[in-house]
Chains A and B, each alone.
Chain A
Amino acid sequence: MPANAFNGYTEYGIGIGLRVPHYRHILAKKPVVDWFEIISENFMVDGGRPLEVLDTILEQYRVVQHGVAIYFGSADKFDREHLKRLKRLVKYTKTPWLSDHLCWGSVDGRYTHDLLPMPYTFSVARHTAQKIKEARDFLEVPICVENVSSYAEYHASEMTEWEFLSEVVEQADCGILLDVNNIYVSSQNHSFDPYDYLNNIPHHRVGQIHIAGHSKFEKYILDTHDHPVLDPVWKMYAHAIKQVGNTATLLEWDDRIPSFDEVHHEALKANQFRDEQLVAAAK
């Protein structure tokens, strides 16, 4: 929904990810952008250039934090130092909501730096929801969890990915960062209908949407974030917007990053679908 408890009752439009190759352009030209998404871990540092850039950005733009290393699904307990640093940043940026992935990525204090898929079982859903609640209580900010793209499934799974996502967010009473591209990538890799996914999640919990490009290989698709958004993903985005309303949307472009203007132009294509939705809603 456009504004809900999971995105801090905000009505943000189209945002783009704040990335190093664009710093100079943004700081010098101050382009009009509705909001920037920052990768939390890149700014959970103690000083130096990253924080200087963040200061300047915060003076002029709205910022939302997106994390890649909380690992709600890891069996390990949270790294308290990580959470403390994250909380400091949350207070600093005043992010209206915070997102991270529905995945795991570390075990026994060792980190894979990847977003690894969960086994979709009821026991794991309970464990994951508990950790999301624990993080939200500590960080004191609404949390949206993002569905990841995946290349493998476990024999142990007892339900579909969208059933698992629904189970987790209902138990944790948290939001969803709906990554439409990730749904598409996983649907191709695991041979399911992506619209079944879109149609069967709790739409009222969607606080934000991600769109991105991907790369097709002979036997699978990789979520590479190094291309413009492809047509099937735009179609899914249009469908998602019809279901959840005009929700804060962000284009991810993390590799082979083109000029700022090109990335921004690609992101703003989402407006076309949002406008159609507004017209439909007005009828």
Chain B
Amino acid sequence: MKRSKPTNSETSNSLRPPSKISSHAELKELQRVMAGALFRPLTPQWGMQKRWTDGTLMKSVASQFIKPNDRLTSFERLEIYNRQYWFRVLDCLYDDYPGLRAIVGERKFMKLAKAYLTRYPSDSYTLRDLGNRLEKFLREEPEWCAPREGLTVDMARFEWAQVVAFDGPAKPTVTPDDILDTPPSKLKLGLQPYLSLLELNFAVDDFLIAVKKQESDILRGEASNAKDAAPETRSRRKRVRFPKQEKVYLAVHRHDNALYYKRLEQEEHAILTSLDRGATVEDACVEAVTASTRTNLDWPTQIKQWFDSWSKLGWFCHRS
């Protein structure tokens, strides 16, 4: 999808609202100023910043293009939109990234989300894509992940993969008949676009399951009249233990339109990754087995089982 290159809102410091709107250029100028005001982060008190990007008083900038009324100043009217923008996008990231929240903590998550959206405002018509550059941002600004940089980035990748798996495109699956006549040395298979293969350094899947279970237990508690559902238990609840460092290979996918994540062996991940890059079935398997440290394994049987399982899950499609 081609889009105009986004510009950082903080670079729009020379923008001034036009005094009249009688041309397309003036309309665009007004919209740039208003969007610039909306994209600026709120103060810690959830209000609009008092100064514009060039240091001018914001109330003066707002009064140049927004009418006051008998109850609200121009600043206050613009502030309604500024607040609505941030509440909407922060709510969206909050819902999409429960694992990330649990790792960095709720307060720091909100600061991280504000910093991310300030650097990368939405470039898509759908809020579904809001997290599409979060991994990139966390790699560029690792201080937001400290002291758990690796775990945080792994979780961001894992949670974005779930967005893709939920409603990403599916291609017609390859059937055994489609490939019957092609030898493994020539056969190339595509993988479903909704499938993500992740090589991770932490068991973020187990961690997320534990976090969601805790959240759902709390919700159940809050919905009941049980004594232990009192609000103070929420602040006293134990944090889910962070996972230790370990190599984990995951496939995030969907089956019958339900979302799943499946642990893979290292060699499974290697074969699938090679296939995705365009290797033939034979090359992908040979490469994975050669690199494997496992011995005493009946590789032909094992590989056949894997291919049967992947095929049943509908992961293979024709390469485009």
Contacts and interface: CB of A to CB of B under 8 A. Distances in A.
Contacts of B35: 106-108, 110, 112
A222 B167 CA distance: 32
A219 B72 contact: yes
B257 A113 contact: no
Contact of A154 (B66, B76, B254): B66
B85 interface: yes
A151 B4 contact: no
A41 B126 contact: yes
B175 interface: no
A142 interface: no
Interface stretch (A5-13, A46-54, A175-183, A204-212): A46-54
A106 B36 CA distance: 11
Given A52-B257, A107-B32, A154-B66, A114 B38 contact: yes
Given A50-B167, A81-B1, A109-B3, 20 more contacts: A45-B167, A46-B169, A47-B168, A48-B165, A79-B1, A79-B3, A79-B125, A82-B125, A106-B125, A108-B35, A110-B6, A110-B7, A110-B35, A111-B125, A113-B127, A123-B24, A152-B67, A154-B30, A154-B67, A190-B69
B132 to A, nearest CB: 12
B220 interface: no
Interface of B: 1-7, 18-24, 26-28, 30-32, 34-35, 38-39, 64-67, 69-72, 74, 76-78, 80-81, 84-85, 88-89, 121-128, 165-170, 193-194, 254, 257-258
A4 interface: no
Given A45-B167, A113-B122, A108 B7 contact: yes
A152 B206 CA distance: 48
21 contacts: A44-B126, A47-B168, A47-B169, A48-B167, A48-B257, A75-B28, A79-B1, A107-B35, A108-B7, A109-B123, A111-B122, A111-B124, A112-B35, A116-B81, A119-B30, A121-B22, A122-B22, A152-B77, A155-B19, A155-B66, A219-B72
A204 to B, nearest CB: 29
A156 B18 contact: yes
A127 B27 contact: yes
Contact of B72 (A44, A52, A116, A220): A220
A219 B85 contact: no
Nearest to A85: B125
Which of A119, A190, A220, A222 neighbours the largest number of chain B CB atoms within 10 Å of its CB? A119
Contacts, number: 151
A220 B166 contact: no
B24 A127 contact: yes
A74 interface: yes
B80 A75 contact: no
Interface string A32-66: 00000000010011111111100000000000000
A106 B38 CA distance: 11
B39 A69 contact: no
Contact of B4 (A69, A109, A155): A109
Nearest to B70: A191
Interface string A124-147: 100100000000000000000000
Contacts of A153: 66-67, 69, 77
B69 A123 contact: no
A114 B69 contact: no
Contacts of A41: 125-126
Interface centre among A50, A154, A189 (most CB of B within 10 A): A154
A43 B168 CA distance: 12
Interface string A195-229: 00000000000000000000000011010000000
Interface in A68-84: 69, 74-76, 79, 81-82
B77 A151 contact: yes
B3 A46 contact: no
Nearest to B63: A155
Contacts of B257: 48-49, 52
A119 B69 contact: no
A110 B39 contact: yes
A40 to B, nearest CB: 10
A237 interface: no
Contacts of B31: 74-75, 104, 107
A119 B76 CA distance: 18
Contacts of B168: 46-48
Nearest to B78: A152
Q: Which are the 4 A-B pairs with shortest beta-carbon distances? A: A46-B169, A75-B28, A48-B167, A45-B167
Contacts of B71: 219-220
